[in-house]
Amino acid sequence: MSDPVIEARNLTRDFGRLRALDWLSLQVWPGHVLALLGPNGAGKSTFLRLVQGLLAPTAGQVRLLGRPSRRLPADLCRRVACVGQDQDPPPWATLRQLLALQAGASPRFDRPLAEDLCRRGGLSLGRRFGSLSKGQRRWVLAVLALAAGAEVLLLDEPAEGLDPAARRDLYDRVRDCVNERDAAAVVATHVIGDIERVADDVAIIHRGHLVLHAPLEELREQVRQVALPNTEALPDLAAGVSLLGSIRLGQTLVAWVRCNGLSDDELHRRAGPRARVRTVGLERLYLTIAEHLSEDARKPTEETV
């Protein structure tokens, strides 16, 4: 197996008294798209900045392409492309000028691809960046990253402000880029339904803690929703089943469990004759985990990180 392109070990970052990331460890592999999920202030942007080397860890370490991210040599920096927050080009620059600058700075930059993607977004190359809407600006930033010929894509809310069709097109392009180059992508997003189509792995962060990190296909295979009449208590499902969360909705008690290899028939037998067992999507799973963390973990933060 090839080495991970991103490897975080016990990664911690403090901003004064605020701990933005707490002892986070995960790996990202070539050929994989990682969906990085979490509410505002969870630590997603802080994690991406640490991976880029824009911040120094308070503790732990993060390696990018096999090297410490804060000491990445120039030749490796050119193999990484980012879409971040507050990293916009000069507002007076036209799209044609931006593409020319990128092409001059990197021999890997695919200018014909970038021009085609701009046109697909309905953008004239003579437009100035500052004249674009929020969604159009995010599209242009994503175009610059996708055409960079990079082996690692670090994308922080790349589809923010885009309409549903444009979001789908963007994520399809990310998937194509990863497949064609055996690249890796980390996509931090709130729009879960779109990224679920193209992601290989999912990591959920809440208040700096890594709550879950697993292959998406494994979650699809292992996570089930169990519904019972609200008058009944959830039975003890015994060995091999982990309760992820539960909620009472009107006349129904709904629980989400990780089966860990248990068959649906056996889960139904354990849950009782009146139980309904079904698969569950990533968005529902994410909301369940986020809503059913401890009350202490859900106290509001003083600022968004």
**Contact between residue 292 and residue 255 where contact means Cβ atoms under 8 Å apart:** no
Share of the chain above pLDDT 90, in %: 57
Mean pLDDT of 111-127: 95
* 296 lies in some domain: no
Q: Does residue 185 sit in the same domain as residue 239?
A: no
Q: Does residue 16 sit in the same domain as residue 73?
A: yes
* 303 lies in some domain: no
Q: Does residue 155 sit in the same domain as residue 247?
A: no
Q: Does residue 55 sit in the same domain as residue 18?
A: yes
The per-residue pLDDT for range 136-194, each reduced to its tens digit, is 999 999 999 999 999 999 999 999 999 999 999 999 999 999 999 999 999 998 778 88
Domain that holds residue 256: 217-291
Number of domains, the chain:
2
Mean pLDDT of 74-97: 90
Q: Does residue 52 sit in the same domain as residue 115?
A: yes
Question: What pLDDT sits at residue 299?
Answer: 44
Question: What pLDDT sits at residue 294?
Answer: 42
Reported confidence tier of residue 303, pLDDT bands at 50, 70, 90? very low
CATH number of the structural domain spanning residue 184: 3.40.50.300
Contacts of 144 (CB under 8 A, 6+ apart): 81, 98, 99, 102, 114
Question: Reduced to 3 states, what is the DSSP secondary structure of residue 39?
Answer: coil
Question: What pLDDT sits at residue 292?
Answer: 60
Residue 234, pLDDT above cutoff 80: no
Q: Does residue 200 sit in the same domain as residue 228?
A: no
Q: Does residue 143 sit in the same domain as residue 241?
A: no
Q: Does residue 36 sit in the same domain as residue 167?
A: yes
Distances (CA, A) of 46 to 39, 188, 257: 13, 11, 30
* 242 lies in some domain: yes
Q: Does residue 222 sit in the same domain as residue 197?
A: no
Q: Does residue 94 sit in the same domain as residue 233?
A: no
Q: pLDDT averaged over the chain?
A: 88
Strands (E), 99-162: 152-156
